[in-house]
């Protein structure tokens, strides 16, 4: 998986219709647009207008709204690629893939970006709103849409809570031995809970 935040070049090769300051202008415009309108209310066209560039530049540099969102928040995830890693395969093992991918993504960056994201969510209603929409409609939303039999929103919240909490304790609180535990240990411990939240019986 490629970390969107660290990705310097455009996603597609071909003509070069804008320099790297186009990318920077799109990121800045995206920050403003997402903060003002939330993830759902923001549009790629309006972000491009704010940046003074053609809307095709968003696809050129980021591949779409999802990765533009995470890149604008310095979240080291390309959501489309992340979901392509998680969704295929046995639905009864998706809990394992969720934990494994989560740990791989955030271990690579250290806790800094996660702490910054959590701090932002806890400080600003606008940040909480856009993350809520993004997690609910994109990240976890597409996972429950793919594998869960019912109660998609409740399952998404439960799954998100378990993953968020693991990240908080591992990377921010740095509570040992969970903070240094290897992936196999945490997958074995946590994946059954996530699996139950996604596909198991709920009240």
Nearer of residues 23 and 129 to a second copy, judged by Cβ: 129
Question: Which is nearer to a second copy, 56 or 161 (by Cβ)?
Answer: 161
Q: Should residue 145 be labelled a site residue for a second copy when binding is judged by CB under 8 A?
A: no
Residue among 94, 91, 69, 89 nearest 79 (CA): 69
Among positions 46, 157, 183, 199, the unique one binding a second copy when judged by CB under 8 A: 157
Coil, helix or strand for 21?
helix
How far lies 41's CA from each of 109, 134, 168, 192, 194, in Å? 29, 11, 28, 35, 29
196 binds a second copy (CB under 8 A): yes
Give the whole-angstrom CA distance, residue 78 versus residue 147: 21
Give yes or no for residue 75 binding a second copy (CB under 8 A). no
Asked if 197 touches a second copy (CB under 8 A), the answer is: yes
Give CA separation, 57 vs 31, 35, 144, in Å.
16, 21, 31
Provide the CA 200 distance to its chain's centre, in angstroms: 24
Site for a second copy in 167-186 (CB under 8 A): 168-170, 172-179, 181, 184-185
Q: Which of 132, 137, 183, 199 binds a second copy (CB under 8 A)?
A: 132
In the complex, minimum distance from the CB of residue 166 to a second copy, in angstroms, rounded to a whole number: 5
Left (φ > 0), alpha (ψ -120 to 50) or beta: where does 88 sit? Answer: beta
Binders of a second copy: how many residues, by CB under 8 A? Answer: 47
Which residues bind to a second copy, rule: CB under 8 A? 115-116, 118-119, 121-123, 128, 131-132, 135-136, 153-154, 156-158, 160-166, 168-170, 172-179, 181, 184-185, 188-190, 192-193, 196-197, 202-203
């Amino acid at each position: 998986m490629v970390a969107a935040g660290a990705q310097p070049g455009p996603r597609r090769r071909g003509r070069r219709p804008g320099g790297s300051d186009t990318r920077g202008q799109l990121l800045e415009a995206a920050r403003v647009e997402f903060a003002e309108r939330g993830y759902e209310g923001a549009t790629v066209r309006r972000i491009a207008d704010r940046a003074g560039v053609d809307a095709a530049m968003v696809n050129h540099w980021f591949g779409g709204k999802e990765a533009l969102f995470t890149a604008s928040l310095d979240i080291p995830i390309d959501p489309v690629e992340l979901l392509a890693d998680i969704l295929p395969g046995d639905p009864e093992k998706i809990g394992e893939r969720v934990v494994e991918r989560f740990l791989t993504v955030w271990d690579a960056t250290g806790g800094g970006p996660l702490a910054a994201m959590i701090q932002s969510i806890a400080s600003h209603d606008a940040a909480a709103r856009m993350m809520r929409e993004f997690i609910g409609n994109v990240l976890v939303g597409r996972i429950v849409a793919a594998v869960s039999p019912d109660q998609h929103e409740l399952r998404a919240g439960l799954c998100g809570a378990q993953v968020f909490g693991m990240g908080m304790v591992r990377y921010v609180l740095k509570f040992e031995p969970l903070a240094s535990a290897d992936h196999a240990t945490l997958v074995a411990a946590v994946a059954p809970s996530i699996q139950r939240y996604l596909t198991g019986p709920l009240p």
